[in-house]
Structure formats: structure tokens, C-alpha cells
Amino acid sequence: MAVRPAVGVPRPVGLPGGVSASDHENWFARSSAAGTVWAMASPEALVSALADPERLMLFARICTSPDGLPIAEDRHTAKLAKRLVSAGIVTVDGDRYRAVPQAFRESLAKPANDPLEALFSRGRLTAIPRPGKLRQALLVKLAEQFEPGRVYTEPEVRAKLAAIYEDHAALRRYLVDAGLLQRSNDGRAYGRPAEARPGLETDGRRAHV
């Protein structure tokens, strides 16, 4: 399902000095193509984003900078900021980070009806749940992004999952281990396991990704 990004949604940060406007648009396009739901972050997701001491200190610096905090030039700080942006509590305005305090109020005012929605913020998965029913439900939902009857190459699988979550390898591994994606013996092709197709034959064991 294609979802249109809302006006004013923060752009992602991952490279030194931030990313270009075209990178921002491509990021949203990948999320929409993957069929993810653009949902408000849950209170739990916001707390999780600030649970790391370094991210908390960075957020404090951003909040106490009236004119915004200049975008980080080093990759480590940019990675910390990326998580804050993903959670919706920081935005990128030109060459500055700015806090989004209303995210906390909105998160409490409009709780997600679907527990799965609470795992997403601005089209991105904010965290992978611990093993259990919620993780299984998430994996089932993610598996729906792959069309039955179609064989996907490894780069295609990586692109789909990277549009949803930074650690795409973990998502792929969990999908395979859960039996929701099947991998060929040579590791070059993936598909839905219910589909019997030539070229996607496995030895019947769970694949390690």
C-alpha cells in the first residue's frame, strides 16, 4: 500500500552532514513502496529512543539550543540523531537539528489502536519486539510485503527490509527462521514458502542468513 508522506515530516539522518533532499524523498518512497504504515510513535517507542544515555544527552543539547543544533559531522553523532529522528522527537531543518516536543503530547493523546502500529514511527520500524506473539505478528505482517509466486533476489529483499528497519539483516534472518521466507541453497533467491517454484529449492532446513 502506497502512503504519502505528510508535510513537515523530518528527513532521515545517516551520513555526515545529513542527507540531501533527494535522499529524503527516496527514503519516503522506499517506505511507501514497502507498504509500511505511517504511524505515530507510541510512548514506549519514545522512551526507548531516549533510553540510551548518549541519545538522551544529544536530545538535551538539541532542546537547549534555541536556534537548533548544527547537524553532526561525525558518523557516531549522526547515528544517534537518526534514531531520534526516526522516533519523531527530532527533525532536520536545513543544517540544524530541532526538537519536536509536541511528539510527546500527541503520542499520549492518540494511542495506537493496533499494537503493531505502535512499533512504527513515520513509516519506519523503531524496534524489534522480543520473541513472542507481538514479534510473530510483526513478522507475519512484514512477510506480506513479498508477493506470493514471485522469486526475489537477495538485493531486492535487502532493499525492501532496509526501507522498514536499519538492521535489515536481522529482519531477514527472523523471517527465514520463522518459516515466513524461504531461501535457496545458494542464498541468492527468496520467496514465500507456500509457493513451490523451480529455482527456489531448499534442503528443508532453516536457512541461516
Residues 72, 14: Cα–Cα separation, whole Å? 10
Collapsing DSSP to helix, strand or coil, 62 comes out as helix
Residues 50, 73: Cα–Cα separation, whole Å? 21
Checking DSSP bridges between strand 96-99 and strand 69-70, what pairing results, if any? antiparallel
Please report, rounded to a whole number, the percentage of residues in the chain having pLDDT higher than 90. 41
Spell out the residues 6+ positions from residue 76 whose beta carbon is closer than 8 angstroms to its own.
none
Q: Could you tell me if 164 and 142 are in contact, meaning their C-beta atoms sit under 8 angstroms apart?
A: yes
- Digit-coded pLDDT (tens) for 102-138: 888 887 776 556 788 888 887 889 889 899 999 999 9
- Digit-coded pLDDT (tens) for 93-112: 999 999 998 888 887 776 55
Q: What is the pTM of this model?
A: 0.47
